[in-house]
Chain A
Amino acid sequence: METFRADVGSTGPVCIRGGGTRWSLGGDIGAEVRVVHAPSGIDSHDPAEMTVAVWAGTTLTDLAEALAEKRQEVGLDGPPGSTVGGSLAVGWNGIRRLRTGTARDTLLQAECVGADGQIFKAGGPTVKNVSGYELCRLLVGSLGTLALTGRVILRTRPMPERSLWLRGSMTPAEVERSCYRPSSILWDGSHSHVCLEGYGIDVDKEASDLVEHGMIEVDGPPDLPPNRHRWSGELPKGAVLDVAIGVVHCHGSGAAPEVDPAVKVIADRLKANFDPQGRLNPGRDPYMVSE
C-alpha cells in the first residue's frame, strides 16, 4: 500500500485506471491528469471464510480463475480486461446478481488512499460487520471520486453445481412464479431468458417444468449490447432488460437519470468532505452515468 500511496501523492490532480474498459463513463478526464494504477495480485483466498483479499489492479478473469480452483466466485462484473478496482468503482451488477449478490454487498473491506495522501481503511475483514459507518457502500459506484482503492477484501460465494439457461415466450412474471430463486431473468421484448443454478437434481426439475411451458434450453445468455441505462418502462429495439435490477442493456447511450436536488446536496458535501480540492479523478461524476 505504501508504494501505491506514494504514487497517488498528496497534491495535484490524479486519476486511477484499471483495464480502461469503461473509461468514458461519468465524464472525461483531462489528458493532462496524472494516471496511477493499483497493484495487482491475490493476497489470500480462504474458502472456509468465504473471503478473498486481492489487490485492486487484479483482473476479474485472474480472480475468477483463482477462485474457481476452490469452486467459488465473486459478485463483480465487467467486460474482459476489467479489474477488481475498476469493477467496484463502476459498481455495475452482473446478470447473475440474484445469486451472486450485488457489487455493493461484495465489498467487505477497502484500503484506500484519500485525497490527503493518507491511507485509510473502510469496513472490516469479516463477512458480518456493523462497526462504524458503511464506507464501503459509498466507494462502490463512486468512480473513484472519494478515494483511490488499493486493496480489498471481497465476499465469495460457492459456485453452483449446475447452471443452465432457458429461453422462451413465458413472461418474466410467469418465470418468477414457477421458479424458486432463479439466478437471472432477462427479457428481450419477446422472450424471457432465465438462468437456473444450484444442485443438478433441482435445476433439472425446474428446467423440465419450464420446458413444459415451452421454454427451451440454450447455451447461455443472449448477447448483451454494450451500454446500459435505467429501465424507464420502454425497451428499445435490440435491447435486453435485466428484470431483477431494472437495467436495460442497449446500444444507444441514454441520458443520465434525473436526480433529486436534495440527494445532490448530500453527494456534493460528501465529495467536498472527502476531496475538498477535487483532485481525485477530476471530471468524473457518478451522477452522469445512465445507470
Chain B
Amino acid sequence: MVHEMPAGTDDLVADLVAALGIDRVVAGGGARHLYGRDGSIIEGGHSGPICFPDSTDQVADCVRVAVDHGRAFVPRGAGTGLSGGAVPCNDPVVIATTRMNQIHEVDTERRIAWVGPGVVNLDLTRHLAGTGLHFAPDPSSQQACTIGGNTANNSGGPHCLAYGVTSAHVAAIEVVLSDASIVVLGEEVGDAVGYDLRGAFVGGEGTLGIATRIAVRLTPDPPVVKTLLLDFQSIVDAAETVTGIIAAGIVPAALEIMDQKAIHAVEKFVNAGYPLDAAAVLIVELDGLPGGVAREVEIVEQVGADNRVGTVRVAADDAERELIWKGRKNAFGAIAHIKPGYYLHDTVVPRTRLAEVVAKVNAAVERHDLIVINVFHAGDGNLHPLLVFDPREPGTLERVHAAGEEIVRISIEAGGVLSGEHGIGLEKRGYMPLLFSPDDLAAQRALRDAFDPHGIANPLKVLPTSASCGDVMGLPEVPEGVWV
C-alpha cells in the first residue's frame, strides 16, 4: 500500500536530517501513508519525507534541501483542508507547520497579533479571552485548523458575512519563497505600497510559498449579540427571507439555512429544539450596539412574517444561543450517523438564486442515488450540499464525483463560482476551465509564476495542467484540449 520512494530519497532524507536534526524529519512508511492525504476525500497521494521545522530558518532549510534534490515541497498545517490542497503528489518534501504554534506577540492597543502558522485558530481566540478582542475568521474546523492553513485557503466561516474572510484579517505575512528566500509581505497598519502581494498570497493554497509568521488583525467583541431561529414551510421562503434581510440594509453577523433532512438529523442527536415539521430553519445572528440590534430584530421578524415564517425564536440568553448554534455546528457530525461517509461540497451562487439552485442540486444528487443534505451560509450564497454515502458500496465514489460535477455545473450556470471557502486544490482544478477561459487562466499562471517560477511549491494544485498526480483517486479529468 505504501509505495517505494524514488531513487535518491535516502540522500534527501540524510540532508534534511543534517539540516533540521533527527527528531524533525520522518520518512517511515506509516508516516508517508498518513501524510498522503488531508481532510478531503481524495486518497492516494504520495508523500516524500515529512519535516517538522520549528523556525523560519528551518523552513527555509527544508525548501533549500528540497530544491537541491530537485524535489517539490508541500506546506501542511493541520491537514483539515477539504479540497486536497495538502495532498502530496509525486513524493515531495512535506513541510508540516504544526510545531510552529507559538503566539509570538499580542498588541491589544494596535489590535495586531503575530502568530506562528501552526497556531490553531480557536487557540488564538481563547488566548485573547478577557481582552475584548477575537480573531474573526471562524471556519467550521476552527477547533483544529491552523492560522497558516486559514491564510493559505483564505478561509471563511459563518461570521465572515459581516466581518470578511481571512484576507481582511491578515495584515502582514513572513513568507519563505520557493528559492528559500525570506520576505515580509504587507504592513501591520494600512496597505503596503505597490502590488498587494499579501493579498495575492492569501488564498494561494501553498503554491506561492510558506507562511512562517502571520500578523493577524484582532476584532473587537460585539457589545450585544442576538441569535434568532426562524422556521419555514418551504426553503424558498427561507431563502427569500435572506434576500429580504440584506435588501433591508442589514448585514447580519451570520445567516445560516438548514434543510429538513439536516433538521431531523440534528434534532436526533443534539436536541437543539429545531421544529421537526419545518422544511427549513434560518439562523440569524445580529450583533453590534444595543439600539441597532433591537431595531434589526424587529426588521428580521417583519421580513420573516412577509415570507410566511412559522415561529421566530429569539434566544433569551447565552445558553439558548449556544443551543441554537450547537445544532448548526454539529450538523455534519449528526449527518455522519446516517452513513459512514460524507462529501462536503462548496460552491457560491448569487444569493437571490439560492432556492432555485438548491432544488436543482437536490434533484441532481438524488438522480445519482445519493442522499443530500443542505446546511449552508445563506447570507453570502455559499452552498454546502453534503452528500452522504457508504464508501464501501461498489461504485459509490464514482457516483459521488459525478454528482459533485453536476453541482459545480449547476452553480456556474446560475452565475456562481467553484468555491466559497474550501479552495480549488486538487479537487476542483479540473473544473477551472468551466469558470475561466484560457486567457483568464494564463493571467492566474502569471501570478503564480511570479512567486514560484520553477513550480516547486505545492505543484499541480489550483491550476489545471496535463500532468497528473500519481494515482490519486477519483479526480475529475481535465477536458481534452481546454488547458494544457
Contact = CB atoms under 8 A, between A and B. Distances in A.
A–B contact with Cβ pairs below 8 Å: the answer is: yes
Interface of A: 46-50, 71-72, 91, 93, 101-102, 104-105, 112, 114, 118-122, 124-135, 137-138, 140-142, 146-147, 157-159, 173, 180-181, 198-202, 205-206, 230-231, 244-247, 256-257, 259-260, 262-263, 265-267, 269-270, 273-274, 286-287, 289-291
Counting chain A CB atoms within 10 Å of each CB, which of B185, B194, B291, B451 scores highest? B194
Contacts of B351: 48-49
B193 A289 contact: yes
Contact of B196 (A124, A129, A141): A141
Counting chain A CB atoms within 10 Å of each CB, which of B251, B444, B450 scores highest? B450
B289 A180 contact: yes
12 contacts: A50-B246, A118-B439, A124-B348, A129-B417, A132-B432, A132-B462, A200-B291, A201-B291, A246-B190, A262-B177, A269-B451, A270-B450
B200 A138 contact: yes
Given A125-B415, A129-B348, A198 B289 contact: yes
Contacts of A273: 446-447, 449-450
Contacts of A289: 193-194
A119 B437 CA distance: 9
Contact of B190 (A71, A245, A267, A290): A245
Interface stretch (B16-24, B26-34, B37-45, B163-171): B163-171
Contact of B199 (A46, A104, A181, A270): A104
B304 interface: no
B332 to A, nearest CB: 19
Contacts of A157: 251
Contacts of A200: 291
Contact of B195 (A122, A173, A270): A270
Lowest 4 CB-CB distances: which A-B pairs, in order? Answer: A137-B199, A201-B291, A202-B289, A199-B292
Interface of B: 109, 153-154, 156, 160, 164-165, 167-168, 177, 181-185, 187, 189-191, 193-197, 199-200, 202-204, 220, 222-223, 243-244, 246-247, 249-251, 288-292, 295, 348-352, 377, 380-382, 415-424, 428, 432, 435-437, 439-444, 446-451, 453, 462-463
A216 to B, nearest CB: 21
Contact of A134 (B183, B193, B200, B249): B200
A87 to B, nearest CB: 14
Contacts of A105: 164, 167-168
B2 to A, nearest CB: 32
Contact of A270 (B168, B204, B424, B446): B446
A133 B291 contact: no
A159 B184 CA distance: 36
Contacts of A245: 189-191
Counting chain A CB atoms within 10 Å of each CB, which of B156, B183, B185, B428 scores highest? B183
A102 B450 CA distance: 25
Contact of B424 (A128, A132, A201): A132
Contacts of B250: 158
Nearest to A289: B193
A48 to B, nearest CB: 4
A48 B246 CA distance: 6
Given A114-B439, A127-B381, A141-B191, A49 B352 contact: yes
A131 B175 CA distance: 22
Nearest to B189: A246
B190 A133 contact: no
B350 A125 contact: yes
A162 to B, nearest CB: 10
Contact of B416 (A120, A126, A260): A126
B443 A101 contact: no
Given A48-B243, A133-B204, A141-B191, A274 B443 contact: yes
B199 to A, nearest CB: 3
A260 to B, nearest CB: 6
B448 A133 contact: yes
A256 B199 contact: no
B289 A101 contact: no
Given A131-B418, A133-B204, A287-B193, A202 B439 contact: no
Nearest to A257: B193
Contacts of B183: 260, 262-263, 266
Contacts of A137: 167, 196, 199-200
Nearest to B377: A128
Contacts of B349: 126
Contacts of A93: 190-191
Contacts of A181: 220, 288
Given A138-B195, A201-B292, A230-B193, A266 B160 contact: no
A199 B297 CA distance: 13
Contacts of A230: 190, 193
Counting chain B CB atoms within 10 Å of each CB, which of A49, A127, A135, A256 scores highest? A127
A198 B381 contact: no
B295 A133 contact: no
Contacts of B249: 71-72, 158-159
A11 B408 CA distance: 38
B443 A202 contact: no
B288 A198 contact: yes
Given A128-B420, A201-B292, A266-B450, A140 B196 contact: yes
Contacts of B435: 124, 131-132
Contacts of A173: 109
A101 B447 contact: no
Nearest to B296: A199
A135 B382 contact: no
Counting chain B CB atoms within 10 Å of each CB, which of A124, A132, A205, A287 scores highest? A132
A101 B168 contact: yes
Given A120-B442, A130-B421, A262-B182, A291 B222 contact: no
Contacts of A135: 200, 443-444, 447
Given A128-B156, A128-B377, A260-B184, 6 more contacts: A46-B350, A128-B382, A137-B199, A262-B181, A266-B195, A274-B443
B436 A128 contact: no
Nearest to A50: B246
Counting chain B CB atoms within 10 Å of each CB, which of A128, A262, A267 scores highest? A128
A206 B289 CA distance: 9
Contacts of B348: 124, 126-129
